[in-house]
Amino acid sequence: MNIETTPPAPSVVDDATYQAELDALRVREKAHTHEGDSIAAARRRLPMVEVDPTITLVGANGPVPLLAVFEGRSQLIAYFHMWHTDQPVAEQCEGCTFFNGQVRELSYLHSRDVTYATLCQGPYDVSVGYRDFMGWDVPWYSAQDSADALLGDRPRSPAPLICYLRQDDRVFETFWTSGRGLEPMAPTYGLLDMTTYGRQESWEDSPAGWPQRWERRTRDIMRTDGRPTAQWSRLRSHP
C-alpha cells in the first residue's frame, strides 16, 4: 500500500507576523537587486576583444558570415547549443534544451537593437530539425566548423552565452558566461526561487524534510523519464 506523506510546510502565523517577516526579507531583496545593478554597470565597462567578422556559419540559406547573424543590429547575444552527434532526439542536451528553450519573445531585445541567435555545435540540417521539433523559432545557425574559431583558446564550458558588439564591419566580443551565469535565460528558476520548496535541488539551503528530489550535477535534474523534460509536451501533442 502506498502511503502518501505531506511534506513539511512553513509555520502558520497571523497576518501581522507574516507581513513583518516579509518586510524584513524585502530589505535583503532590494539590496540584492541593487548589487545586481552594480555588477551590470561594471559589465558594461568591460574591455572587449576583436573577432573575425568573416567567420562562417551555416544558416537556412547556406553559409553566412558572423556579421550577417546580427541581422543589421548593433549587438548580438549568441547561445552555443551543444549537439550530441549521431544521437537520437531523446539523448540531445537536456541543459541546452532547458535554457535555450525558454528564450522565446525576442521583440524586446530587437527594440534595444539586440539580436538573439542560437549557434548550434552540430550540423545545420540535422540540428534545425530539433529546433523545429521543439517548436522554437529563434534564429538558428550551425557553428560546427567555426566554434573553435569563435570560442578561442580561453577555457569555457561546452555551451557558453556570448555577447558581441558590431561597429560597421567590425565585430567585438564583450562578455561571456556559462554555468549558473546562464540562469537569466531561464525564468523557471527565478519563479521556483519564489516558492516554498524552491528548486527542490539537493544543494539548496532548505529546512529539514523539505523535498529535494534532484541532484544538481546529474542529468536527471532536467530530464523526465529519460528525455529532456520539455520534449514530453511535444511528443504528447503528436499522437
Cα 62 to Cα 64: distance, rounded to the nearest angstrom: 6
Which domain does 55 fall in, by range? 44-180
Domain-embedded: residue 39: no
Q: Give percent of the chain above pLDDT 90.
A: 87
Q: Give 84's DSSP letter.
A: -
Do the Cβ atoms of 63 and 57 come closer than 8 Å? yes
User: Which pLDDT does position 216 carry in this prediction?
Assistant: 75
Q: What is the pLDDT of residues 44-101, one digit of tens each?
A: 999 999 999 999 999 999 999 999 999 999 999 999 999 999 999 999 999 999 999 9
* pLDDT tens, position by position, 151-171: 998 888 889 999 999 999 999
Contact assessment for residue 87 and residue 74, using Cβ atoms and an 8 Å cutoff: no
In-domain check, residue 95: yes
Q: Residue 201 domain-assigned? A: no
pLDDT per residue over 5-26, tens digit each?
788 999 999 999 999 999 999 9
28: number of Cβ within 10 Å: 9
Residue 172 near residue 48 (C-beta atoms within 8 A): yes
Q: Mean pLDDT for the chain? A: 94
How many separate domains does the chain show? 1
Q: Do strands 170-177 and 223-224 pair parallel, antiparallel, or not at all (unpaired)?
A: unpaired
How far is it, in rounded angstroms, from Cα 146 to Cα 12?
57
pLDDT number for residue 93: 95
The answer as to whether 37 is a domain residue is: no
What local confidence, expressed as pLDDT, does residue 1 receive?
Answer: 40
Asked whether the predicted pLDDT for residue 239 surpasses 50, the reply is no
Looking at residue 113, which CATH number applies to its domain? 3.40.30.10
Side chain identity at residue 200, one-letter code: Q
Position 237 scores a pLDDT of: 67
Q: Cα–Cα distance between 185 and 119 in angstroms, integer?
A: 15
- Predicted local distance difference test score (pLDDT) of residue 220: 84
> Which tens digit of pLDDT belongs to each residue from 124-137?
999 999 999 999 99
